[in-house]
Amino acid sequence: MKNYKGVFVFAQQVDNKLSGISFELIGEGKRLADKLNEKVTAVLIGSDVKGLVDELAEYGADRVIVVDDPELKEYRTEPYAHALASVINEYKPEIVLVGATAIGRDLGPTVSARVATGLTADCTLLEIGDFPLVALPNQEQKHNQLLMTRPAFGGNTIATIACPDNRPQMATVRPGVMQKLDRVAGKKAEVIEYNPGFTPNNKYVEILEISKAVSDIKDIMDAKILVSGGRGVGSAENFKLLDDLAEVLGGQVSCSRAVVDSGWKPKELQVGQTGKTVRPQVYFAIGISGAIQHVAGMEESDIIIAINKDEDAPIFDVADYGVVGDLNKIVPALTEAIKAELANK
């Protein structure tokens, strides 16, 4: 195990464009690597992707390992798993981080099985520390372990998991949870080109056609202001109140899982443990009770404003500002007040 060094992150790209989670993982990987006095390495897998190396370097990667092959043009489980597992076996990283995206949730477990290690899925916090957390009699306490924290049992508790006896220590990380570093223009990284060789076999899926859905829904993870509604809004039609407020503020509407389950809003707008993690400057929680599953997706917002008729709603425990009352009266009044204020400027 002493031969395993450094922090590796899977730099996900689609259509030769790096995904935002790649930069978030580099930022988090850098923080962990600094604690271990090691470097962070981005693993870039694809076809004709060498032009993305500089961008990874500018966001903090000390080294970039490029696996470039025509077989890697589109994501397929077998060639990508072969590529990443081969990199791990060759370079022996101590920690491997993968984004908990549709691709990462398929790739991470497949690779962890191939390199005979464990994987903690959907992590929301990573730290370097001791395992066990508290020293126990007659049991060795190991230091500099990756402590991986994730919601468990439907979000009703938080579990911290370690992998003390196998390497690498692997985790998938939810998009939007970790912070990317500021981009440093012109920064360079060591580049290694590595190709384990790809021989198609009966595990290689043949892609016959790629059909991309066209959506005019903006990604709520990019919003600076979110006006989010829950079951308490009452109906799909009543979301017009939130639409009006969001329009005045120059923000976007989002929602809780209960709203999606009721068919009032599409899944793309869901905030929470089973939705998206957001970090807007201002987050309005309107008619949202504040279950832990929802709070997990928005608690890092700069300012949280809650409107709810139930004064005991858990959302008030995380809100910076709270208003108890009927949202059908409060939201329109707030919208009009903001309109008037803007008109006077």
Which residue numbers belong to the known binding site for FAD? Answer: 231, 256-257, 270-274, 287-294, 308
Cα–Cα distance between 54 and 190 in angstroms, integer?
10
Q: How far apart are CA 20 and CA 313, in angstroms?
A: 34
The DSSP secondary-structure symbol of 298 reads T
Return contacts of 310-313, CB within 8 angstroms, 24+ apart.
313/288, 313/289
Which one, of 97, 84, 93, 63, lies nearest residue 53 by Cα?
63
Do the Cβ atoms of 174 and 155 come closer than 8 Å? no
Say whether 2 sits in a helix, a strand or coil.
Answer: coil
H/E stretch holding 63: strand 63-68
* φ/ψ bin of 117: left (φ > 0), alpha (ψ from -120 to 50), beta (otherwise): beta
Sorted by sequence, the CB contacts under 8 Å of residue 41 that are 6+ apart come out as: 6, 7, 8, 9, 61, 62, 63, 64, 65, 91, 93
Residues making up the annotated binding site are 231, 256-257, 270-274, 287-294, 308
> Of the candidates 9, 87, 2, which has an alpha carbon nearest to the alpha carbon of residue 41?
9
